[in-house]
Structure 1
Amino acid sequence: MLNNKIIDEIASKISQMLASSPAADIEKNLNALLRGIFTKLELVTREEFDIQTQVLQRTREQLDALEKRLAEIEAQQKQ
């Protein structure tokens, strides 16, 4: 069975090797590349989408109320 101290030392050495390797630079460059691609796609955040959904819901409610009111006015004019 391996000693916990040995496992911690191995994990520490691996972390140090990864930190000094080009993997960190590759990750940074990949993140920047992906952000650029997503920006060009003009994606919206979930928060922006939810806000627009609420605006659309209120607009539909107002439209329904106006249609109902118009129908009542038209019914009154027919009488």
Structure 2
Amino acid sequence: MDAKKIEDIARQINDSIPAGVKDFAGSLEQRIKTILQQQLGKLDVVTREEIDVQQQLLLRLRQRVEHLEHELEAMKKED
């Protein structure tokens, strides 16, 4: 996951914490970022770019299979 997104999430969590709690834990945002990075590192996630690449590969494969199916149909008709 993008470091900027993790920072944004940590900032949003930090912003939702009451002022008294923020004063008590000045490094809370950094702690949250560290915990988020550790936990997200355990997840098996892919980037949007990786998904897009896989979708393009799948589309090309699907088109190739359809082309081969049509060729096979044509060959069967010739027999």
Q: Deviations over 1:16-44 (max 9, x none)?
A: xx7x8733x21112112112222211111
- Which sections of structure 2, spanning at least 5 residues, go unmatched? 1-21
Is 1:29 aligned to 2:31, yes or no?
A: yes
Number of residue pairs the alignment of both structures matches = 58
- Which sections of structure 1, spanning at least 5 residues, go unmatched? 1-17
Deviation at 1:53, TM superposition (A): 0.7
Write out the 4+ residue segments of structure 1 that deviate beyond 6 Å after TM superposition: none
Question: What's the TM-score once normalised by structure 1's chain length?
Answer: 0.63
% identical aligned pairs = 31
RMSD: 1.8
